Amino acid sequence: MLIEKGYFADNMGQSIVLFGPPGAGKGTQADAIVGATGKPQVSTGDMLRAALAAGTPLGLEAKKYMEAGELVPDDVIIGLIEERMQQDDAGDGVLFDGFPRTVPQAEALAEIAEVSLVISIEVPDDEIVGRIVGRRMDPETGDIYHITFKPAPAEIAHRLIQRKDDNEEAVRTRLTAYHDQTSPLAKWYSEKGLLATVNGNQAMDDVGAEISAIIDA
């Protein structure tokens, strides 16, 4: 029985962080982790894009940072997470995707939720640009595709969109932000004994298998 084994049994109420550079494959791998653990995905990128699409003041404030590839200020992000974690479905812990991205965000998270595992998907910079520039999204399902590595079925190809920040210039800025502000968190979580690293520079299914092995251990 699922509840008797591995991660799920021991870590009810605790959250998982999916960590890695832009384009590492966090969104791609999230569905399987949600399926295996029952924890809902909390993606700050998706929340910000929803706020932007809805034209809320928060969305409008975040827009300029997102389009330039810079990080949205910590107070905005922490406010979003505090609100999200009060919803009923967050009670048994969640899967954070793209959060935390700075040390102040991680410190705020420690006050809000208990993190029991940080899965870091490692991909070298020279792989990232091609992944990001070729990324496409299905706005109806949220599914993520890639023009070369994961082509969409022909019948939905007409409706795919490319994110405005998925261009080479913004990716370079995002990678700089990652190295300067986000990657120090790997050491931070490693010192707490929470970090598990995964080789993200292999086929999607192989990345998924490494992640499953960590979750089931």
**Does 25 contact ligand ADP by CB under 6 A?**
yes
**Does 84 contact ligand ADP by CB under 6 A?**
no
* Residue 213 tokens, joined: 């092995």
Long-range contacts of 136-144, Cβ-Cβ distance < 8 Å, separation of 24 or more: 136/160, 136/161, 136/162, 137/161, 137/162, 137/163, 142/46, 144/27, 144/28
Q: Are 128 and 134 in contact (CB under 8 A)?
A: no
Would you say 5 or 206 has its CB closer to ligand ADP? 206
Q: How far apart are CA 192 and CA 188, in angstroms?
A: 7
**Does 207 contact ligand ADP by CB under 6 A?**
yes
**Does 63 contact ligand ADP by CB under 6 A?**
no
Say if strands 144-146 and 135-137 run parallel, antiparallel, or are unpaired. Answer: antiparallel
**Does 65 contact ligand ADP by CB under 6 A?**
yes
Give phi and psi for 101, each to the nearest 5. Answer: -120, 0
Catalytic one among 49, 101, 131, 136? Answer: 101
Catalytic one among 26, 49, 84, 131? Answer: 26
Among 7, 16, 33, 45, binds ligand ADP (CB under 6 A): 45
Q: Are 95 and 29 in contact (CB under 8 A)?
A: no
Would you say 15 or 44 has its CB closer to ligand ADP? 44
> Which residues would be at the binding site for ligand ADP (CB under 6 A)?
20, 22-28, 44-45, 48, 65-66, 69-72, 77, 98-99, 101, 105, 131, 134-135, 144-146, 149-150, 165, 174, 200, 203-204, 207
